[in-house]
Each structure stands twice: as structure tokens, then as C-alpha cells.
Amino acid sequence: MSEGILIGGNEAGQVSLNPKYANRHGLVAGATGTGKTVTLQCLAEGFSDLGVPVFLADVKGDISGISQAGTPHPRIDERVAKIGIEHYSQRGYPVAFWDVFGKQGTPVRSTISEMGPQLLARLLELNETQESVLTLVFEFADDEGMLLVDLADL
């Protein structure tokens, strides 16, 4: 068994991350099908096993299944044996789904002022002209000492 958080491996050995060398922020990048989602899931599970809270921005919902135990599958059993993982079991992990709109998950509590014009423009998919007008509204609110709490304040 490797030391640290197991990321992957093959017949030659395992690759793991020593938690003391882990950063607070990370980026996993690569082409389609290169294992980004599985890498993130392995890291999240490993940190969760150590009691470290993990925040993942999972817009597509690819990692949401981490909340439920998986079902046995021959390909998984083959991969576990190939990597040499001992005492493997599929289980769910604690998750909290955040919801910008507060409809199906934990509402994200943030004011419009805290978001700022650039983030809000991206969320609302505004064009360049609309974003410029929104920026002027934010500047006016700042100059007047007005707090923009929700969309009604715009």
C-alpha cells in the first residue's frame, strides 16, 4: 500500500500524494478522456478519508456520484487488482450540493455586491454593452454607499 493519497498506478507501482505537500488550491487539466474526473474523485476521497474538507466546483455533475457507494463491476475489480489496492470497498462520501439559485441544494449566500460586475455578468451571460452598463451601476452604488444585496437592488 502506498503512503498518502492514492492517485493511481499500474503493475509497476502506485502513485500517491503526500498530504503534507498538498496545496489549498489545485488545477487538473487535460484533454477529454485523460482521467481528470477520476483524478479529482481520488483526491477528494483521499482528503475526506483524512478528515480534510474539500470544495469542488462540479458544474456538469460528473463527481456528484461520490455521495453514493458504487456498484461492483468487473472492470473496477480488474483495475483495483492491477493497481494493487488492498482492502478496497466502494462507499459514499459526505457531500453538500450548493445551488446558486437556492432551489435544490444548499443556497450560496452571497450578495450581488460581493460578486462584483464581472462575475455577475458571466452568470447572467451578458454581452459587452450590458456588462458595461452593469459596471456603471456598481460604480454608482459604490459612490453612493449603497449595498447591492440581491437582484431586486439592481
Write the pLDDT tens digit of every residue in 16-63: 999 999 988 888 999 999 989 989 999 999 999 999 988 888 878 889
Q: How confident is the model at residue 1 (pLDDT cuts 50, 70, 90)?
A: very low
What's the grid cell of residue 98? 450548493
Contact (Cβ atoms closer than 8 angstroms) between residue 82 and residue 10? yes
Task: Read off the pTM.
Answer: 0.65
3-state secondary structure 90-104: CCCCCCCCEECCCCC
Write the pLDDT tens digit of every residue in 55-100: 888 878 889 899 999 999 999 999 999 988 888 899 999 998 888 7
